[in-house]
Copies of this chain bind each other. A is one copy, B any other.
Amino acid sequence: MTQYERYAQDIAGLIHSGSLRVGDRLPSVRAASRSRRISASTVFEAYYLLESQGLVQARPRSGYYVSARALPDLRAPDPAAPARQAADVEISDLVLEILNLARREAVVPLGSAFPDPALFPLARLARSLASSMRRLQPQHLLQDLSAGHARLRQQIAQRYAQDGLTIGVEELVVTNGAMEALNLCLQAVTEPGDLVAIETPTFYAALQALERLKLRPLEIATDPVQGMDPEALAAVLAEHPVKACWLMSSFQNPMGHSMPEGRKRAVAELLARHRVPLIEDDVYGELYFGARKPLPVKAFDRQGLVLHCASFSKCLAPGYRVGWAAAGAYTRRVERLKLMSSLSASVPSQLALSDYLGQGGYDLHLRRLRQTLERQRDVMLEALVQTFPAGTRMTQPEGGCFIWVELPEGMDALQLLRQALDQGVSLMPGQLFSADRRFSRFVRLNYAAAPAPAVREATRVLGRLVGDGPLLSN
Q: Which residues of A contact B (CB under 8 A)?
A: 92-93, 95-96, 99, 103, 112, 114, 116-118, 120, 122-123, 125-127, 129-130, 133-134, 136, 138-139, 141-143, 145-146, 175-177, 179-180, 183, 187, 192, 205, 208-209, 211-212, 214, 318-322, 335-337, 339-349, 352
Given A129-B348, A348-B348, A348-B349, A180 and B138 touching (CB < 8 A)?
A: no
Is the beta-carbon distance between A342 and B183 smaller than 8 angstroms? yes
Bound complex: CA A340 to CA B123 (Å): 30
Closest to A178 in B: B343
A142 contacts across to B, CB distance below 8 A: 112, 114, 117, 318-319
Q: Shortest CB–CB separation between residue A418 and chain B, in angstroms? A: 21
A177 contacts across to B, CB distance below 8 A: 342-344
- Determine how many copies of this chain the complex contains: 2
Closest to A136 in B: B122
Is the beta-carbon distance between B180 and A342 smaller than 8 angstroms? yes
Bound complex: CA A310 to CA B175 (Å): 21
Bound complex: CA A93 to CA B335 (Å): 11
A-B contact sample (4 more), CB < 8 A, given A118-B139, A341-B341? A103-B143, A125-B133, A176-B176, A177-B344
Other-chain contact of A343, B93, B125, B321, B336 (Cβ < 8 Å)? B321
A126 contacts across to B, CB distance below 8 A: 130, 133-134, 136
Other-chain contact of A348, B176, B183, B319 (Cβ < 8 Å)? B319
Bound complex: CA A282 to CA B269 (Å): 49
A342 contacts across to B, CB distance below 8 A: 175-177, 179-180, 183, 321, 342
Given A117-B138, A126-B130, A346 and B343 touching (CB < 8 A)?
A: no
Q: Shortest CB–CB separation between residue A137 and chain B, in angstroms? A: 9
Bound complex: CA A341 to CA B187 (Å): 11
Bound complex: CA A343 to CA B180 (Å): 8
A103 contacts across to B, CB distance below 8 A: 143
Other-chain contact of A192, B179, B214, B352 (Cβ < 8 Å)? B214
Q: Shortest CB–CB separation between residue A100 and chain B, in angstroms? A: 9
Closest to A346 in B: B346
A96 contacts across to B, CB distance below 8 A: 335-336, 339
Q: Shortest CB–CB separation between residue A322 and chain B, in angstroms? A: 8
Q: Shortest CB–CB separation between residue A93 and chain B, in angstroms? A: 8
Bound complex: CA A129 to CA B183 (Å): 29
Closest to A204 in B: B340
A176 contacts across to B, CB distance below 8 A: 176, 180, 321, 342-343, 345-346
Q: List 15 A-B residue pairs with CB atoms under 8 Å apart, sorted by A's residue number.
A: A96-B339, A112-B142, A117-B138, A117-B141, A118-B138, A122-B141, A123-B134, A126-B133, A126-B136, A130-B130, A179-B343, A183-B342, A319-B346, A321-B347, A341-B341
Q: Shortest CB–CB separation between residue A419 and chain B, in angstroms? A: 23
A93 contacts across to B, CB distance below 8 A: 336
A335 contacts across to B, CB distance below 8 A: 96
A214 contacts across to B, CB distance below 8 A: 192
Closest to A183 in B: B341
Is the beta-carbon distance between A346 and B321 smaller than 8 angstroms? yes
Is the beta-carbon distance between A179 and B348 smaller than 8 angstroms? no
A175 contacts across to B, CB distance below 8 A: 342
Is the beta-carbon distance between A345 and B318 smaller than 8 angstroms? no
Bound complex: CA A341 to CA B133 (Å): 28
Bound complex: CA A39 to CA B339 (Å): 59
A349 contacts across to B, CB distance below 8 A: 346, 348-349
Closest to A339 in B: B96
Q: Shortest CB–CB separation between residue A277 and chain B, in angstroms? A: 18
Bound complex: CA A146 to CA B176 (Å): 13
Bound complex: CA A431 to CA B134 (Å): 39
Bound complex: CA A47 to CA B244 (Å): 71
A114 contacts across to B, CB distance below 8 A: 142
A347 contacts across to B, CB distance below 8 A: 319-321
